[in-house]
Amino acid sequence: MEAFSTISGIRKWVRSARAANETVCLVPTMGYFHEGHLSLMREGRKLCDRVVVSIFVNPAQFGENEDLDAYPVDLERDKSLARAEGVDAVFVPSSDQMYPKEFQTYVELTRIPGHLCGLSRPGHFKGVATVVAKLFHIVEPDRAVFGSKDYQQLLLIRRMAEDLNFDIIIDGAPIVREEDGLAMSSRNTYLTEQERRSALSLSRSLDLAAEMIDRGEKDPGKLAREMERLILSHPGTRIDYVKPCDPETLEKVEAIRGPLLVALAVRIGRTRLIDNRIFHPER
């Protein structure tokens, strides 16, 4: 496995792969790998001849009061894990290289960020779209894989790729969970033992949603209220949002009929966690 810290370095490597007629898959990450990241790398290996993993804690997608400085980093461990997954190259650029002081160009979507996490994290998705556009231009992959835990991000990247005519296929990979159901996240590392127990409320509320929808519940408001009640029964939880919505537009639905996204964000102490699930209820 090769490791590059410069844009010109990874570019040259990708170009020689391309000259050998190999396809290239990009897995953009912020590092501190867990099973979720590794599953994206495995997916990448299935889809293309070569897998490039970028590791960059992107300052542009963190708000002023968010956890940029606290975000966990362990580059050596990340490299070992990537190597073990058969990743061909890791790209770890510096902030100065990605955002030189003259930098002033941003990619922004007008509708998708007006929902869910976009409401509590203003500017977040602008930062995401911008850095992903940059990584797409640097690596010029044939495909790129994103996890479904960040469902809104996946939707946003797909929309951006379509709107700006990126010639790149965007693949989504399923959420990977701990045995007890907690969705894997680098931020789980912030949790105390007590908080870790309360964090289960997210996946459990989605299980409850599944049961309710199975039993024929058609009222999205009732679904959300029952989920909220379950979450708040766990100590130290504060709900950011619990939203049953349209999986394509993220807009509110009046009744549970077609495909439904249920997405939620909950603060456990100082840690903000997200989770989601898509349902296909019988009509």
Among positions 161-190, residues that touch a second copy (CB under 8 A) are 162-167
By C-beta, is 109 or 184 nearer to a second copy? 109
191 is an interface residue for a second copy by CB under 8 A = no
Residue 140 binds a second copy (CB under 8 A): yes
Look at the block and give the residue holding tokens 């001849």: 49
- Angle between the N-to-C axes of helices 35-47 and 75-84, in degrees from 0 to 180, rounded to the nearest 10: 40
Beta strand 50-55 with 24-29: parallel, antiparallel or unpaired?
Answer: parallel
Question: Could you give the CA distance from residue 175 to residue 203 in angstroms, rounded to a whole number?
Answer: 11
* Binding residue for a second copy, selected from 129, 173, 209, 268, defined by CB under 8 A: 129
Number of residues that bind a second copy (CB under 8 A): 28
Shortest Cβ 7–a second copy spacing (Å): 6
* Binding flag, residue 96, a second copy (CB under 8 A): no
Could you give the CA distance from residue 224 to residue 229 in angstroms, rounded to a whole number?
9
Rounded to whole angstroms, the Cα distance separating 278 from 154 reads 13
Concatenated DSSP letters for 9-53? HHHHHHHHHHHTT--EEEEEE-SS--HHHHHHHHHHHHH-SEEEE
Tokens for 258, please give them: 């077609």
37 catalytic residue (yes or no): yes
Q: Is 281 left (phi over 0), alpha (psi -120 to 50) or beta?
A: beta
Among 76-84, 104-112, 177-185, 255-263, which window interacts with a second copy (CB under 8 A)? 104-112
- Which of the residues 34, 37, 115, 234 is marked catalytic? 37
> For residues 83 and 137, which CB has a smaller minimum distance to a second copy in the complex?
137
Q: What's the min distance (Å) between Cβ of 168 and a second copy?
A: 9
**60 or 274, CB closer to a second copy?**
60
CB closer to a second copy, 15 vs 252: 15
Residues belonging to the active site:
37
Please report, as ranges, the residues that interact with a second copy according to CB under 8 A: 7, 11, 102-112, 129-130, 133-134, 137-138, 140, 159-160, 162-167
